[in-house]
Chain A
Amino acid sequence: SQQGEEDPQALSIQEGENATMNCSYKTSINNLQWYRQNSGRGLVHLILIRSNEREKHSGRLRVTLDTSKKSSSLLITASRAADTASYFCATVLPEGKLIFGQGTELSVKP
């Protein structure tokens, strides 16, 4: 069964707007990672946040982690058409396995 659940399943915004995606999980984690997948391609790692961190930034990406609520969010600021892709959170279990959520399909319209 899937560890992570993401919402929304799909998000459509205009270029320049911010996009927020959320991920919830069920058990203890070592860290949480976000990946991006363009159509027909493999997943690409975006950012990792450790269980003892609350917020992390990388360029236009901002990730938060709330371990008490077992949730994380990914914010993409000033979105571009090239950000159109599916975004997945992956929870890293103590034994080291990555469990991926079902993903959020983001469409950024020019």
Chain B
Amino acid sequence: DAGVIQSPRHEVTEMGQEVTLRCKPISGHNSLFWYRQTMMRGLELLIYFNNNVPIDDSGMPEDRFSAKMPNASFSTLKIQPSEPRDSAVYFCASSGTGAGGGTQHFGDGTRLSIL
């Protein structure tokens, strides 16, 4: 079975540009999570969805960040405008048992560099 699929794997763009990260969760999973990983702050939960509805976006750093889940098989994380401090690896994860403590399956991440 296919795991969580993220695209692109790498993105290099200039400051001020819009960045869109994409995620396809595992089929049948009803919870989706976006994380950001940096050396300084480790792995941070940005937002999570349950049945396509955003449940907790308290980790989204600023209004420049937005996330959508238009259907059960697709989610996007958008940064507009991007800044150098947004450089990080962004992970998407999905879970089949809701956010109540089920195990999460991670994609291989998008390595984002903002110049």
Find residues 9-67 in chain A having any chain B CB closer than 8 Å to their own CB. Answer: 30-31, 33, 40-45, 48
Chain A residues in 8 Å Cβ range of B104: 43, 45, 98
11 extra A-B contacts, CB within 8 A, seeds A42-B4, A42-B93, A96-B98 = A30-B101, A40-B108, A42-B106, A43-B93, A43-B104, A45-B104, A45-B105, A95-B56, A96-B101, A98-B101, A99-B45
Chain B residues in 8 Å Cβ range of A88: 43
Chain A residues in 8 Å Cβ range of B56: 95, 97
Nearest-neighbor residue (CB-CB) of A51 within chain B: B101
> Contact between B42 and A100 (Cβ–Cβ < 8 Å)?
yes
Determine which of A30, A41, A45 lies in contact with B100 in the assembled complex, contact meaning CB atoms within 8 Å. A30
Find residues 73-115 in chain B having any chain A CB closer than 8 Å to their own CB. Answer: 91, 93, 98-101, 103-109
Binding site for A on B (CB under 8 A): 4, 33, 42-43, 45, 48, 56, 91, 93, 98-101, 103-109
In the assembly, what is the distance between CA of A25 and CA of B104, in Å?
20
> Contact between A43 and B106 (Cβ–Cβ < 8 Å)?
yes
**How far is the CB of A51 from the nearest CB of chain B, in Å?**
10
> Contact between B45 and A42 (Cβ–Cβ < 8 Å)?
no
